[in-house]
Chains A and B, each alone.
Chain A
């Protein structure tokens, strides 16, 4: 039975995502909002690869999100005006950075790991903030825009057509989500679950725990960098807030809010967070305090997140 439930759940998620541009405007949304939800959902799911499925809390994922975003923006602005090339540069830069920083932190656990990821994250924030001649400092990287996708004969204009950009983001989201799901169902993915469940047992079953955490960390940072690259393209702009520590906190909130033990939890969390933010920020400056309140209530009463409630209902 649970197997069938899962497939129905997957089908519903994909159906909603594919048809979103058709109904979003009728429920008071707009297409750009849909794209933003997708991008943050990808970031939160990438974080959750590490948090929910390896049991390691990173509070510095914004750094790799931001590296993906800055890499993309700077490539288009200064090097070569090609969207795919720019994304590639951003994602490779972030992944390499994660791979190098990884060995310095994978031996740490719990709050020490989280603190060190914040510290490394802030290093990148201050570089972006201070190195004005390249990054534009506090003003960010502006005066550039994403380029239409050329496929020889046909061109997809993701620049002017919001729907086209949504589907471009959805296509990348789908590939990334499928890749993560695939990895989690593999023998390698099961070693990560083993580490989450009981590190000592995993070690004494012959799993070199630190190396597997490193691999999970790099994979997670790779996917969050894809989200960062899309984020820069969506806004045609990036500034240092993209890689500040509170951005990392937002990813964690989204994952926990939606339910970090379920694959789609972070997507639900991101949707709630982004829609609430969009609605509340037009009403009040203090929108974050309302999101915070909502978050506290969910964590207090439904520690397994919003999807956790649904699951429990289904089980009883």
Chain B
């Protein structure tokens, strides 16, 4: 059974149609890239899946259940985690605390006034593991706000991962990064996908990253579905080339 099914979803802002009847199906373990020219509605599409926005029409089915009307927090509890195009972290807390909060929330401890020694030790160990995996161990006790853009991004991705999600949504994970940082993040995402068999949907502008990572690609243009297929199919698709490069004269 598919993990995520988006059925004819649409979102209007007044008379502007940001997303128009887009459907998409993602299988467990898949890495899907969503691409499209500027203004194609990619981020709005993401916001509809994660619950940041409510759709005007259409449905979102996650793991067989209709989650269209659920609040963001409830979608997280079901296993959907996301990052944002502009990095969203807790700037005045340490990297360790940034990771500890989602670990505790995912463990069902968010209302606990205290923790048992055993639970505390378990959480510490898992946080240490995440720090290691994200390449952040050396900076664990620095405030996130002081770190480089790339490290903040890595922190945000590890925060989403700390929730042990079944579906990870990444909104332009390499936006605003240099080549070195882009490479590091790409390797991190690849490792998550290959080693942990995590299902990932990502929006990305950098085509090198997309063609390097994605199993399948969905292309949006002006709010509508344009094409879907393997990287080879998309690269050869004339409609996609037209959308990106403009009509050939």
User: Is B115's beta carbon under 8 Å from chain A?
Assistant: yes
**Cα A205 to Cα B75 with chains together (Å):** 10
State whether B76 touches A204 (Cβ < 8 A).
Answer: yes
Q: Which residue of A lies closest to B120 (CB)?
A: A187
A194: B residues at CB distance < 8 A: 90, 93, 101
User: Is A109's beta carbon under 8 Å from chain B?
Assistant: no
State whether B163 touches A186 (Cβ < 8 A).
Answer: no
Contact string against B for A residues 192-228, beta-carbon threshold 8 Å, 1 for contact and 0 otherwise: 0110011011111111110010010000000000000
B110: A residues at CB distance < 8 A: 187-188, 191, 206-207, 212
**Cα A203 to Cα B90 with chains together (Å):** 12
A187: B residues at CB distance < 8 A: 104-105, 109-112, 115
Q: Could you list 19 A-B pairs, sorted by A, with CB under 8 Å?
A: A186-B115, A187-B110, A193-B101, A194-B93, A197-B89, A197-B92, A197-B93, A198-B91, A201-B90, A202-B101, A204-B50, A204-B76, A204-B81, A204-B84, A206-B73, A206-B76, A206-B163, A208-B71, A208-B73
Give the Cβ gap from A229 to chain B, nearest Cβ, in Å: 23
From DSSP, what is the main secondary structure of chain A's interface residues? helix
User: Is B59's beta carbon under 8 Å from chain A?
Assistant: no
State whether B106 touches A206 (Cβ < 8 A).
Answer: yes
User: Is B97's beta carbon under 8 Å from chain A?
Assistant: yes
A182: B residues at CB distance < 8 A: 113-114
Interface residues on B, range: 20 to 34
Q: Which residue of B lies closest to A209 (CB)?
A: B73
**Cα A285 to Cα B24 with chains together (Å):** 72
User: Is B29's beta carbon under 8 Å from chain A?
Assistant: no
User: Is A134's beta carbon under 8 Å from chain B?
Assistant: no
Please report A residues at the B interface, Cβ cutoff 8 Å. Answer: 182-183, 186-188, 190-191, 193-194, 197-198, 200-209, 212, 215
User: Is B100's beta carbon under 8 Å from chain A?
Assistant: yes
State whether B159 touches A205 (Cβ < 8 A).
Answer: yes
Give the Cβ gap from A63 to chain B, nearest Cβ, in Å: 26
State whether A198 touches B106 (Cβ < 8 A).
Answer: no
Contact string against A for B residues 79-103, beta-carbon threshold 8 Å, 1 for contact and 0 otherwise: 0011010001111110001001110
B50: A residues at CB distance < 8 A: 204
Give the Cβ gap from B220 to chain A, nearest Cβ, in Å: 22
User: Is B58's beta carbon under 8 Å from chain A?
Assistant: no
A200: B residues at CB distance < 8 A: 84, 88
State whether A186 touches B114 (Cβ < 8 A).
Answer: yes
State whether B115 touches A190 (Cβ < 8 A).
Answer: no
Give the Cβ gap from A205 to chain B, nearest Cβ, in Å: 5
**Cα A109 to Cα B40 with chains together (Å):** 32
User: Is B37's beta carbon under 8 Å from chain A?
Assistant: no
Q: Which residue of A lies closest to B52 (CB)?
A: A204
Please report B residues at the A interface, Cβ cutoff 8 Å. Answer: 50, 52, 71-73, 76-77, 81-82, 84, 88-93, 97, 100-102, 104-106, 109-115, 159, 163
B88: A residues at CB distance < 8 A: 198, 200-201, 204
State whether A203 touches B73 (Cβ < 8 A).
Answer: yes
Given A182-B113, A204-B50, A206-B102: A190 touches B89 (CB 8 Å cut-off): no
State whether B90 touches A197 (Cβ < 8 A).
Answer: yes
**Cα A140 to Cα B230 with chains together (Å):** 78
Which interface residue of A202, A205, A207 has the most chain B CB atoms within 10 A? Answer: A205
B76: A residues at CB distance < 8 A: 204-206
**Cα A186 to Cα B88 with chains together (Å):** 23
State whether A207 touches B114 (Cβ < 8 A).
Answer: no
Given A193-B90, A197-B91, A198-B89: A205 touches B113 (CB 8 Å cut-off): no
Give the Cβ gap from A97 to chain B, nearest Cβ, in Å: 23
**Cα A193 to Cα B71 with chains together (Å):** 21
**Cα A203 to Cα B91 with chains together (Å):** 16
**Cα A203 to Cα B76 with chains together (Å):** 9
**Cα A188 to Cα B93 with chains together (Å):** 15
Give the Cβ gap from A103 to chain B, nearest Cβ, in Å: 16
3 shortest interchain CB distances as A-B pairs:
A206-B76, A197-B90, A201-B88
State whether B112 touches A205 (Cβ < 8 A).
Answer: no
Give the Cβ gap from A316 to chain B, nearest Cβ, in Å: 16
**Cα A190 to Cα B91 with chains together (Å):** 14
Give the Cβ gap from A176 to chain B, nearest Cβ, in Å: 15
**Cα A32 to Cα B90 with chains together (Å):** 42
**Cα A212 to Cα B105 with chains together (Å):** 12
Q: Which residue of B lies closest to A195 (CB)?
A: B90
Given A182-B113, A183-B113, A194-B101: A204 touches B72 (CB 8 Å cut-off): yes
Given A182-B113, A197-B92: A191 touches B72 (CB 8 Å cut-off): no
Q: Which residue of A lies closest to B159 (CB)?
A: A205
State whether A205 touches B89 (Cβ < 8 A).
Answer: no
**Cα A198 to Cα B52 with chains together (Å):** 15
**Cα A186 to Cα B105 with chains together (Å):** 12
**Cα A194 to Cα B100 with chains together (Å):** 11
State whether B90 touches A207 (Cβ < 8 A).
Answer: no
State whether A205 touches B84 (Cβ < 8 A).
Answer: no
B104: A residues at CB distance < 8 A: 187, 190-191
Question: Given contacts A204-B73, A206-B105, could you give 20 more A-B pairs where the C-beta distance is less than 8 Å?
Answer: A183-B113, A186-B112, A186-B114, A190-B97, A191-B101, A191-B110, A197-B93, A200-B88, A201-B89, A201-B90, A201-B159, A203-B73, A204-B50, A204-B72, A204-B84, A204-B88, A205-B76, A206-B77, A206-B106, A215-B111
